[in-house]
Amino acid sequence: MRLTRRGLLVGAGVGGGLVVAWSFTRHRAATPLRARDGELAAGAWIRIAPTGVVSVAAPFCEMGQGIASLIAQVAAVELGADWKLVSVEPVPAGADYGDAVLAAQWAPLWMPVGARFASDPEGSIARRYATTHPLVVTAQGTALAAFEQPVREAAAAARAMLAKAAASQWGVSWSDCDTRNGAVIHGKQSLAFGKLADAAARYNPPGTPWLRAEPAKDSSAA
């Protein structure tokens, strides 16, 4: 079955409303998914090891509702990863993982006077609260709405950095490269993510990473 962003979003919309339980942790330190020697990290969300394994941060509680798999699929599609090499890694609560959507929905709890001013998840009040009072929590089906965009942006940034590393070896423009099945490709040339991770870490991502409109053709994430 071909994986599409539309299909993911529809599936999340059907199941997300059923997730009403939540869990908290006492972690407060902002500890993003950091790269070790030879690894590539993109923001606080994506890490690629020399083995080719792609780790995706999971700042939520997986209780069988499938959100961990869903976020991993979002990352895999955007990155052009080999789905068999994608994993999720629980991370502690921190400013990098604030859920502004949930903060806005819960505004009457933490801001009972004037809650309407914090009801917009894109507004500065909800966003500030989410980053200064981070929680590892899954409630009211907000995880995809809160985290899809930053995960996609991190995956797109990693894709660009990998493309730059491969293009440097091939003597071509990185913008002419693509990713598929866990490798950067240009014509008949191909280099696996794992072999590029160390070199890719030396490059800066574009200021505004290009996001895919649809999954890459023949991606093993499909």
Residue pair 177/101 in contact (Cβ under 8 Å)? The answer is no
**Hey, CA dihedral for 188, 193, 194, 199, is it positive or negative?**
positive
72 pLDDT exceeds 70? yes
Q: How far apart are CA 139 and CA 159, in angstroms?
A: 31
Q: How far apart are CA 84 and CA 82, in angstroms?
A: 5
43 pLDDT exceeds 60? yes
Mean pLDDT, rounded, of the chain = 81
DSSP 101: H
- Mean predicted confidence (pLDDT) in 40-52: 95
- Mean predicted confidence (pLDDT) in 193-203: 97
- Mean predicted confidence (pLDDT) in 6-10: 41
* pLDDT band at residue 214 using 50, 70 and 90 as cut-offs: low
- From the number of C-beta atoms within 10 Å of its C-beta (0-12, 13-18, 19+), residue 9 rates as middle
For strand 189-192 and strand 86-90, is the pairing parallel, antiparallel, or unpaired? Answer: unpaired
Percentage of the chain lying above the pLDDT 90 cut? 45
Residue with the bigger pLDDT between 6 and 203: it is: 203
pLDDT tens profile 130-145: 888 877 776 667 788 8
In the chain, where the domains are located? 5-97+140-154, 100-132, 159-200
Residue with the bigger pLDDT between 122 and 65: it is: 122
Q: How far apart are CA 199 and CA 161, in angstroms?
A: 9
Percentage of the chain lying above the pLDDT 70 cut? 80
pLDDT of residue 195: 98
pLDDT of residue 93: 80
pLDDT tens profile 21-37: 333 344 444 456 788 88
Residue 113, C-beta contacts closer than 8 angstroms, at least 6 positions apart: none
pLDDT tens profile 83-127: 999 999 988 887 888 888 888 887 888 888 888 888 888 899 888
The residue type found at 33 is L
- Mean predicted confidence (pLDDT) in 181-194: 98
19 pLDDT exceeds 50? no
83 half-sphere exposure, CB direction, 13 A CA radius:
15
4 pLDDT exceeds 80? no
